[in-house]
């Protein structure tokens, strides 16, 4: 049901993020409905005009204390369940990134995204580097590593379709990764208020099929063989398509 409300998922770990989202929504949603139904019930059941008088309850007996302690314990257990679900997704996304097939540098500045490709030699800062403003081209089904820096203030690199969001702090190189599962164009947004034109700070990730990626590569580096594997020659980890 909730899938229809979320943007299309186009990355390998998007399903894990959605899983945590659903877990929180269902736990909190069920608790919300229970609390509202009880509230309504008590409002009607104990409305003014009935003979019963209110009494001051100090919570001294075990049965009175249980009204606080039992729900408190249930909330705590549900919270630990959410923590466990979140931790599983965190480990997969933040601590077990696959060997990257491709590395690109992301330079954030007010108010644009600049992308640098290292080119055939795989090294940044050399002659064959390619710069693109606002658009990043990557192949589908390959792990892409992003090295992100900021030229000025804190920005946040967000791709809703990949369930990817990462703050970029000036003075640091911050890494993120993704592996796109479907060719297409996916919007990049800055999700950290970074100045007056913050809302204009958008970009696009163009995910290309293998053939299209080859064409794109040959447009820029006609003489060099296409690199869509990492330099060790080990193909990037491929996993389940949708998740």
Shortest CB 154 distance to Cu ion, Å: 8
Q: Which of 225, 231, 204 is nearest to 213 (CA)?
A: 225
Tell me which of 93, 143, 201, 227 binds Cu ion, using CB under 5 A: 201
- Give me Rg for the CA atoms of the chain: 25
Which structure tokens are listed for 234? 């080990």
Number of residues that bind Cu ion (CB under 5 A): 4
Tell me which of 102, 148, 194, 236 binds Cu ion, using CB under 5 A: 194
User: Interacting stretch for Cu ion, rule CB under 5 A, among 63-71, 117-125, 199-207, 233-241?
Assistant: 199-207
Exposure class string for 45-78: b at 16+ Cβ within 10 A, else e:
eeeeeeeeeeeeeeeeeeeeeeeeeeeeeeeeeb
Size of the chain, expressed as the number of residues it contains:
243
Q: Which is nearer to Cu ion, 194 or 207 (CB)?
A: 194
Asked whether position 168 contacts Cu ion by CB under 5 A, the answer is no
Q: Which is nearer to Cu ion, 137 or 155 (CB)?
A: 155
Query: x/- binding map, residues 136-155, to Cu ion, per CB under 5 A?
Result: -------------------x
Phi/psi of residue 210, nearest 5 degrees = -55, -45
User: Interacting stretch for Cu ion, rule CB under 5 A, among 23-31, 176-184, 186-194, 208-216?
Assistant: 186-194
Residue 208 DSSP code: E
Lay out the sheet containing 155-159: strands in order across.
Answer: 135-139, 202-208, 184-190, 155-159, 164-168
Q: Which is nearer to Cu ion, 20 or 158 (CB)?
A: 158
The label of the residue with tokens 């039992």 reads 70
Query: x/- binding map, residues 97-136, to Cu ion, per CB under 5 A?
Result: ----------------------------------------
Q: Which is nearer to Cu ion, 180 or 190 (CB)?
A: 190
User: Interacting stretch for Cu ion, rule CB under 5 A, among 43-51, 89-97, 124-132, 191-199?
Assistant: 191-199
Identify the H or E element spanning 207.
Answer: strand 202-208
Tell me which of 190, 205, 207, 208 binds Cu ion, using CB under 5 A: 190
Q: Which is nearer to Cu ion, 191 or 238 (CB)?
A: 191
Q: Which of 108, 119, 115 is nearest to 156 (CA)?
A: 108
Phi/psi of residue 87, nearest 5 degrees = -65, -40
User: Interacting stretch for Cu ion, rule CB under 5 A, among 4-12, 54-62, 80-88, 192-200?
Assistant: 192-200
Interacting residues toward Cu ion by CB under 5 A: 155, 190, 194, 201
């Amino acid at each position: 049901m909730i899938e229809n409300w979320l943007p299309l998922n186009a990355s390998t770990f998007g399903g894990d993020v959605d899983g945590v989202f659903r877990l929180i929504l269902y736990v909190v949603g069920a608790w919300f409905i229970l609390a509202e139904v009880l509230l309504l019930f008590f409002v009607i059941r104990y409305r003014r005009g009935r003979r019963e008088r209110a009494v001051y309850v100090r919570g001294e007996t075990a049965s009175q204390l249980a009204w606080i302690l039992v729900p408190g314990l249930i909330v705590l257990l549900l919270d630990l369940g959410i923590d466990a679900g979140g931790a599983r997704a965190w480990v997969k996304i933040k601590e077990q990134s696959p060997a990257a097939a491709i590395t690109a540098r992301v330079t954030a500045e007010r108010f644009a995204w600049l992308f640098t490709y290292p080119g055939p030699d795989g090294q940044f800062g050399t002659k064959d580097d390619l710069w693109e403003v606002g658009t990043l081209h990557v192949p589908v089904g390959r792990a892409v590593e992003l090295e992100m820096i900021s030229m000025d203030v804190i920005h946040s690199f967000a791709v809703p379709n990949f369930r990817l969001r990462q703050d970029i702090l000036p003075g640091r190189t911050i890494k993120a990764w993704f592996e796109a599962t479907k060719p297409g164009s996916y919007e990049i947004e800055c999700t950290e208020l970074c100045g007056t034109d913050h809302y204009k700070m958008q970009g696009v990730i163009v995910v290309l099929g293998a053939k299209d990626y080859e064409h794109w590569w040959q447009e820029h580096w006609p003489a060099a063989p296409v690199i869509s594997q990492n330099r060790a020659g080990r193909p990037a980890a491929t996993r389940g398509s949708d998740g």
